Amino acid sequence: MRKVVLGALAALFAFVGSAQNVKPSMTLKLYPEGQTVDKGIVENGVSVTLGPCDDNELRGAHELSGDGLLSNINDPYIDIYLPKKGNGQMLVCCPGGGYKYCSSYNEGTRVAAWCLKHGIACCVVLYRMPNHHCKVPLTDVQNAFRYCRAHQKEWGVKQLGIIGFSAGGHLAASASTLWVDAATRPDFSVLVYPVITLEQDVTHKGTRSNLTDNKIDLVEYYSLENQVNASTPQTLLLLCQDDKTVPPENSLRYYFKMIKCKVPGELHIFTSGGHGWGFTTPEYGKDLLTPGQRADFFKILERWLNDRKAEIK
Does residue 59 lie in a domain region? no
Low-confidence ranges of the chain (pLDDT < 50): 1-19
Does residue 60 lie in a domain region? no
pLDDT of residue 98: 98
Task: Kindly report whether the global pTM for this prediction surpasses the value 0.75.
Answer: yes
Does residue 245 lie in a domain region? yes
Does residue 23 lie in a domain region? no
Does residue 15 lie in a domain region? no
pLDDT of residue 7: 39
Q: How many residues does the chain have?
A: 313
pLDDT of residue 2: 37
Does residue 219 lie in a domain region? yes
Q: What is the pLDDT of residues 69-127, one digit of tens each?
A: 999 999 999 999 999 999 999 999 999 999 999 999 999 999 999 999 999 999 999 99
pLDDT of residue 313: 81
Does residue 240 lie in a domain region? yes
Does residue 154 lie in a domain region? yes
Provide the domain limits for residue 257: 78-309
Q: How many domains does the chain have?
A: 1
pLDDT of residue 13: 44
pLDDT of residue 20: 58
Task: Assign residue 250 the CATH number of its domain.
Answer: 3.40.50.1820
pLDDT of residue 189: 99
